[in-house]
Amino acid sequence: MKYRLATILAEESATTAGTKTIDLNVRDPISKINIVFKPTNSNQTMVGHPALCLPKVELVDGSDVLFSASGKELRAAAYYGRGKDFVDVLDYNISSECMFEAPILFGRFLNDPELALDPEKFRNLQLKITHDKALGGATPTTATLAVFANLFDEKVISPVGFLMTKEIFSYLPVANEHKQVVLPTDYPYRLILVGGDSAGKFPHWRMDQLKLSEDFDRKLPLPATDVDDLMQGLLDMYPPIEDHIIAQIVTTGTVVYMTAGYEGSAVGCSYGGVEKSIGFGNGAGGTITGYSEAATTFWVHTKGWCPHNFVSLPLGDKNDLADLYDVRELKNLRLDVLADSSPGTSDKIEGVTQQVRDD
């Protein structure tokens, strides 16, 4: 076999919130690590998307942080990095597992021979997964955690580097104020993502404009640009995000948590029993509201763009290593985020970068 799927952590209880530290004692190059978290619902009262159950995932080598992002940020980076959808089945039904997968991608695609994590280049690799079942699903009472890795086996490769994804900033926006963030200039960029969940709000209802500046406006790779204009370009470049959801919808309206943050829509049919009519509205910010003629469990198919409300800056061909945004000769790289007039007071704006680390 040229490749193999390895179990890094066999499924174990993750009912008590905490941080699981796993020594990565593998020798073969790693293309992908997949974290599987399964909270078991105690009822049908949804509290959030299960991605929220992983507030932080880190890969470290001693004090060197190679990877650091939340579950929702990992998913947004995977979507924009692969240029393809991931289809989830989010089961918010009572006693069901609302399973969630968080991929850590070290290459542009699975089994990328040029970009992969070579454990032999590091001394003390550890994966640290912070989890809290209470943050997502439908009022979970128990949860499990498992970790798998896609490894190169008989195929010998010499990767030139690996994808390093990190949350660079997180803050609470103030209406109409600029937030200027100095970005690192140590490695070439593949992705720069800005966003974050905000129930019922499109990304451009929280962020009005984004601007990317080199050396104090000597050059503007991205002049001050309306976020809604950026999103229109993403609709043409990326496929829609689709979720298959099982949830109880009541007559007075039920907020259903989905992955898409922009232009969300949904259709549904009864999940067993007598058919009931259903309608949906306000598909924005990772939520959509369903209305049923009677309280019934439904199959719901949602569709939209901008996973977890993140937008991606246009940086070039992300699959061509020669076309990466190389910033290593710059003295200063700044991202300017202009907040909307009413961004909300409790939902953070977050920035995530993906660079090709080649040392």
Q: Quote the tokens at residue 282.
A: 């306000």
| Confidence at residue 51, expressed as pLDDT on a 0 to 100 scale | 95
Mean pLDDT of the chain: 94
| Confidence at residue 86, expressed as pLDDT on a 0 to 100 scale | 74
| Confidence at residue 309, expressed as pLDDT on a 0 to 100 scale | 94
How far is the C-alpha of 266 from the C-alpha of 264, rounded, in Å? Answer: 7
Q: Domains in the chain, start-ordered, CATH in brackets?
A: 3-357 (2.60.120.730)
Query: Which of 202, 284, 208, 278 is CA-nearest to residue 247?
Result: 278
For residue 301, which amino acid is it?
H
| Confidence at residue 356, expressed as pLDDT on a 0 to 100 scale | 98
| Confidence at residue 186, expressed as pLDDT on a 0 to 100 scale | 97
How far is the C-alpha of 332 from the C-alpha of 77, rounded, in Å? Answer: 24
Burial class for 346, CB neighbours closer than 10 Å (0-12, 13-18, 19+): exposed
Question: Is the dihedral angle over the CA atoms 355, 218, 323, 223 positive or is it negative?
Answer: positive
| Confidence at residue 125, expressed as pLDDT on a 0 to 100 scale | 97
Query: Which of 150, 181, 185 is CA-nearest to residue 332?
Result: 185
Burial class for 3, CB neighbours closer than 10 Å (0-12, 13-18, 19+): middle
How far is the C-alpha of 120 from the C-alpha of 185, rounded, in Å? Answer: 26
Burial class for 348, CB neighbours closer than 10 Å (0-12, 13-18, 19+): middle
Give 188's DSSP letter: -
Task: Name residues whose C-beta falls within 8 Å of residue 235's C-beta, 6 or more positions apart in sequence.
Answer: 263, 305
3-state secondary structure 152-168: ECCCCCCCCEEEEEEEE
Q: In Å, what is the CA distance from 299 to each residue of 14, 31, 75, 243? A: 28, 34, 23, 10
pLDDT digits 0-9 by tens, 73-98? 999 999 999 988 777 789 999 999 99
DSSP characters for 242-280? EEEEEEEE-TT-EEEE-SEEEEEEEEEEESSSS---EEE
pLDDT digits 0-9 by tens, 126-172? 999 999 999 999 999 999 999 999 999 999 999 999 999 999 999 99
Q: In Å, what is the CA distance from 179 to each residue of 174, 287, 352? A: 9, 26, 15
For residue 52, which amino acid is it?
L
Q: In Å, what is the CA distance from 99 to each residue of 17, 55, 138, 296, 321? A: 17, 16, 11, 22, 34
How far is the C-alpha of 266 from the C-alpha of 258, rounded, in Å? Answer: 10
| Confidence at residue 347, expressed as pLDDT on a 0 to 100 scale | 83
Tell me which residues of the chain have a pLDDT lower than 50: none
| Confidence at residue 257, expressed as pLDDT on a 0 to 100 scale | 96
| Confidence at residue 134, expressed as pLDDT on a 0 to 100 scale | 97
How far is the C-alpha of 283 from the C-alpha of 90, rounded, in Å? Answer: 16
Query: Which of 4, 35, 189 is CA-nearest to residue 104?
Result: 35
